[in-house]
Amino acid sequence: MSGRIHLSKPDVTELEERLVLEALRSGWVAPLGPMVDRFETEVAERIGVAGALALSSGTAALHLALLDVGAGPGKVVLVPSMTFAASANAVVYTGAEPVFVDSDPRDGNVDPGLLIEAVDTLRREGHDIAAVMTVDLFGRCADHSDIGPALQDREIPLVEDAAEGLGATRDGQAAGSFGRAAALSFNGNKIITTSGGGMLVSDDLDLLAHARHLSTQARDNAPWYEHTEIGYNYRLSNLLAALGIAQLSRLDAMIMRRRQIRDRYAAALTTVPGVEVLARADGLDDRGDNHWLTCVTLPEATSPDRVVGHLNALDIEARHLWKPMHLQPVHRSRRSFITGASERLFRSAVALPSGSGLSDDDVDRVIDGVLESLRAVVAPLPSHA
Ligand SMILES: Cc1ncc(COP(=O)(O)O)c(C=O)c1O
């Protein structure tokens, strides 16, 4: 048996090495420089938006996006409950209150009908809604077809948490281009990585200019250090941007490999009664997804604990889905609109290793591990060739 299999390990080649070395040798080691400019231009072009701002994390990008659409004390922001903590934390940083909305059971993304209902309920009750946040969960765009027009009618800005979504599309439109602004993450486990980093993207150049100002300590244009606003130290370094440029040039190949991995899981695991690939069952089409993580729902007789525990014992990293925000102790007192869908997914699905660097043998090792963990609860088990 070979080494540990990670959930989503960085996939780096000599190209990354070459560009980082080039940046280092150029002398641009500061948090600004030509690689940052080039990375911003290339990401904006890829997504089809007017501009981009490279930042130290996706969380920083969310924070600045929310500040720029006016989130703050006395306001609320609607956030999907099934997400990583950073989506809700960024709202809290601004002083606004997150309100959680449940999932579409088929893919875990926010339930569009429930979201619009929640917006109207909150408005009727007199709440001041600063923004709605969608999350492109596990690399699949939220279903924006109804959300976009409904928010436009109600003049509420959409902030897209596209941290997991770079390279995904929905109806031909790229993740990161649906809202007033979107946040991308390049942390170590994302589809492309700068080891740590993020980006704010938008068609609104004024919004980006103000976010840029805030991200560099909000230093005013004066001969000395003059500040009229509270700023942050949120910029990305030129060295890390070089890594990002190399990764971006390989994005399509990495998406293709992640899709092959999903196909392999689907072929071997969905023959087991009760096992489905999230976002593939119920007639859903996942061809626009970037396949960042492949998640599978499990038969009722078992639990994610059992499968994750078994795989971990085999030195294979697998994870529970995000524990919904409305169940998190830190958010217990907050408002939420809940159908039970995200909780059911949390209690019935697991995320499997999906990194583009995995070999077919690695994927087979994972499949064997999953099947073994199901052996006691599903009989007879189909065999894996
Ligand atoms: C949905 C989601 N939002 C936000 C973030 C935060 O990104 P970062 O880790 O770059 O701050 C992540 C990833 O970590 C994420 O998965």
Does any ligand 1 atom lie closer than 6 A to the CB of residue 58?
yes
Q: How confident is the model at residue 282 (pLDDT cuts 50, 70, 90)?
A: confident
Please say if the pLDDT value at position 1 is more than 60: no
The reported pTM is 0.97
Distance of CA 17 to the CA centre of its chain: 26
Does any ligand 1 atom lie closer than 6 A to the CB of residue 187?
yes
Instruction: Give me the sign of the Cα torsion angle 334, 199, 176, 287.
Output: negative
Ligand 1 atom showing the smallest separation from residue 57 Cα: 10
Q: How confident is the model at residue 79 (pLDDT cuts 50, 70, 90)?
A: very high
pLDDT on residue 380: 63
Does any ligand 1 atom lie closer than 6 A to the CB of residue 198?
yes
62-90 mean pLDDT:
98
For ligand 1, the distance from its centroid to the CA atom of residue 57, given in whole angstroms, is 8
Tell me the pLDDT tens digit for each residue of 88-132: 999 999 999 999 999 999 999 999 999 999 999 999 999 999 999
Distances (CA, A) of 229 to 196, 214, 216, 217: 26, 8, 11, 9
For ligand 1, the distance from its centroid to the CA atom of residue 225, given in whole angstroms, is 32
Decide: 39 and 31 in contact? Cβ < 8 Å. no
Burial bucket for residue 303 (CB in 10 Å: 0-12, 13-18, 19+): middle
For ligand 1, the distance from its centroid to the CA atom of residue 148, given in whole angstroms, is 22
- Cα dihedral 45/48/53/55 (nearest 10): -90
pLDDT on residue 378: 76
Q: Which of 100, 138, 141, 164 maximizes ligand 1 atoms within 8 Å of its Cβ, making it the mutation to test the pocket?
A: 164
Does any ligand 1 atom lie closer than 6 A to the CB of residue 363?
no
